[in-house]
Structure 1
Amino acid sequence: MSEQFEIGSLVTAEYKTGEYAGEVVEVSPSGKIAVKILAVIKHPTQGDLHNPMDPNVPFFHQRRALAFQEIALIPRYSIKPFHGTVQEYRTSLERALHSEIRQLKQTVHWAERSLQELELLQKDYSI
C-alpha cells in the first residue's frame, strides 16, 4: 500500500543520487510530490552514473546538493516519512559532503592496497 503524504509532512526524499530531509508543499495527482529541502542526508554522487568508477568518460558530472528551501518535484516512490530531528541545513550539508569525501578517500586507499597485493601476486605467479 502506498504511503499518503499531506502538505506539511516531514519526509526523506531521494533525488538524483542525493538524499534529503524536507517538507511536503504540494501533492500532485500525477504521482509527484513537491518537497521543500530542509537538510542534506546524503550528498549526490559525482561522475557518470552509467559508467560508475570510471573517471575517463566524455562528461564527468558534478552534482551539487539541492539548496536550502529549494522545491524539488519528486516521484512518490522516492519519498518516505522522516523520523527524527531535522538538522540545520548548513550543518547537514557539511556532514554529508565530508561523509562523501571520507568514503571516496577510503575507496582510493582500498584501490591502492589492492594494487599492491595484486602486484605481489603477479610476481608470485611469475607473470
Structure 2
Amino acid sequence: MMDNKQGPAEMVKITYKTGDYVGETIDRDERRVLVKVLAVLQHPTQGDLHSSYDPEPPIFHERRALAYTEKVWVPVQTAQPYAGAIPSYTDSLKTALGIEMERIDRMKRWAERCLENLHGLQKDYGV
C-alpha cells in the first residue's frame, strides 16, 4: 500500500500488453506505479505482434484482458491521470471486446473484398 509521503491514490489510464485500462494507483516508486484495474478501455490485440495480420505465425498469442482488481506494475511515465467516468468492469470488458471483434470483422470483410477485386483483375490481366 502507498504510504502517506506518496500521496493519495489516483485514477489513471494505463496501457499494458496492448490493452488499455483504468485503475487506481495503490503503490509507486521512482520508476513504476502499481495499479489496481477497475475497467477495460481497449481489449488486448490477438496474434503475433511482430507478424501483424499473419494468421499462421509460429505462435499465435491469445491475450486476455486484465481481471477486475488485478494489480499490475507499469512504468511511471505510462500512467496518465484519468478523470472520466469509470464504467463497471463487466460493462467495460463487454464493450471493449465487442469493439475489438467488430474491428477484426471489418478487416476480414475488407480482405474478402480485396480478394474479390484481385480475382477480377487477374481475369482482366489474363494471368
Q: TM-score, normalised by structure 1?
A: 0.91
Structure 1 residue runs of 5 or longer lacking an equivalent are none
Structure 1 pair 118–6 and aligned structure 2 pair: CA distance change class (3 A): farther
Residue 13 of structure 1 corresponds to 14
**Amino acid paired to 1:82:** Y
Q: 1:8-29, CA deviations, whole angstroms, 9 ceiling, x for partnerless residues?
A: 1111000000000001111112
1:90 paired to 2:116: no
Residue number in structure 1 paired with 2:3 = none
Q: Report % sequence identity.
A: 43
Q: Secondary structure at the match of 1:21?
A: strand
Q: Which runs of 4+ in 1 moved over 3 A?
A: none
1:13-54 per-position Cα deviation (integer Å, ceiling 9, x unaligned): 00000000001111112x111000000000000111111111
Contact 1:7 1:27 in 2 (8 A): no
In 1: Cα distance, 2:74 partner to 2:8 partner: 14
- Supply the distance in 1 between the matched residues of 2:8 and 2:49 (Cα, whole angstroms): 32
**What is the CA-CA distance between 1:59 and the residue it aligns to?**
1.2
Equivalent-residue separation in structure 2 for 1:15 and 1:122 (angstroms):
43
User: Residue type matched to 1:61 in 2?
Assistant: H
Distance 1:33 1:58 in 2: 33
Q: What is the alpha-carbon root mean square deviation over aligned residues?
A: 1.3
Partner residue in 2 for 1:22: 23
Deviation at 1:6, TM superposition (A): 4.9
Partner secondary structure for residue 15 of structure 2: strand
CA positional deviation for 1:7: 4.0
8 Å CA contact 1:14–1:20 kept in 2: the answer is yes
Aligned to 1:54: 54
- SS of structure 2 residue aligned to 1:109: helix
Give the Cα separation in 2 of the matches to 1:82 and 1:45: 22
Task: State the distance in 2 between where 1:126 and 1:108 align.
Answer: 27
Q: Which amino acid aligns with 1:42?
A: Q
Aligned to 2:87, the other structure's residue is in SS state coil
Aligned equivalents of 1:53, 1:88: Cα separation in 2 = 31
Matched AA of 1:12: K
